[in-house]
Homo-oligomer: A and B are copies of this chain.
């Protein structure tokens, strides 16, 4: 497959109009059968993660953002199905605790950044503070406004040891309706449903505008945003697995050379 990164990346400095990106587009991925067969990306990610861990010098941070039901957990399961939990740390950012609120908005985020050698995955992230924060006016406008630059500066700083990839899981309002209905109909999915989700749904266009601000202002060379059409789960998973794999291949982590001579040791 060709390098999907260039198709989905938000070019730094460009202006994003989400209404021009079709959430149902699968043209870059191929057929569902082809995508299903592409197990090799997940397997390659596993091997690359092992090298990253062995090298112990750099980290990878994957940020997942999207409207409710866009499939953040499902993406993690699919992309890291071969990798397992060793060396992969998932952090879900929910409503901040009183302790977190007593600090600046990046404090809890910084604490959760992956250590060298590991892959960190953020299910929601610092961007909530310019998404729900903006839409629901959880802070004064000038404070929110300042945060875009603060986030860029923060990501620039962690980029010294961490490769950052940010994915917006782009679904349509119609697709969300289907998925919310499924949650309401299946008792095993009730726990995933929060009546507040419907309020956010009512603010859909405000959220899309807030996402456009994020994508336009916070996609950088060191920490690019990718907009992933996500109405089709299989296309979403295939796109992200491919981009994660390519990124790790480019990082090219290496098994370290020991500071001892293997010839010197005898196991007795």
> Please, how many residues of chain A have a CB less than 8 angstroms from a CB on the other chain?
41
Which residues between 184 and 199 of chain A lie within 8 Å of chain B, taking CB atoms? Answer: 184-185, 187-188, 190-193, 195, 198
Cβ-based interface call for A144 (8 A): no
Cβ-based interface call for A80 (8 A): yes
Known: A193-B258, A255-B188, A265-B195. A90 touches B81 (CB 8 A): no
A190, B265: Cα distance in complex, Å: 12
Asked if B76 and A184 sit within 8 Å, CB to CB, the answer is no
The SS class assigned to the A binding surface is mixed
Closest chain B residue, CB of each to CB of A73: B86
Asked if B257 and A190 sit within 8 Å, CB to CB, the answer is yes
A267, B191: Cα distance in complex, Å: 17
Q: Pick from B77, B190, B201, B267: contact of A255, CB below 8 A.
A: B190
A184, B256: Cα distance in complex, Å: 13
Asked if A80 and B84 sit within 8 Å, CB to CB, the answer is yes
Closest chain B residue, CB of each to CB of A78: B84
A188, B256: Cα distance in complex, Å: 8
In the assembled complex, the CB of A193 is this many whole angstroms from the nearest CB of chain B, namely 7
Which residues between 160 and 190 of chain A lie within 8 Å of chain B, taking CB atoms? Answer: 177, 180-181, 184-185, 187-188, 190
B-contacting residues of A (Cβ < 8 Å)?
A: 54, 56, 73, 76-77, 80-90, 121, 123, 177, 180-181, 184-185, 187-188, 190-193, 195, 198, 201, 255-258, 260, 262, 265, 267-268
User: What are 23 of the A-B contact pairs (CB < 8 Å)?
Assistant: A54-B188, A54-B191, A73-B86, A76-B84, A76-B85, A77-B86, A80-B85, A81-B82, A83-B84, A83-B85, A85-B121, A89-B89, A177-B268, A184-B262, A185-B262, A187-B255, A188-B255, A190-B255, A190-B256, A190-B258, A190-B262, A193-B258, A195-B260
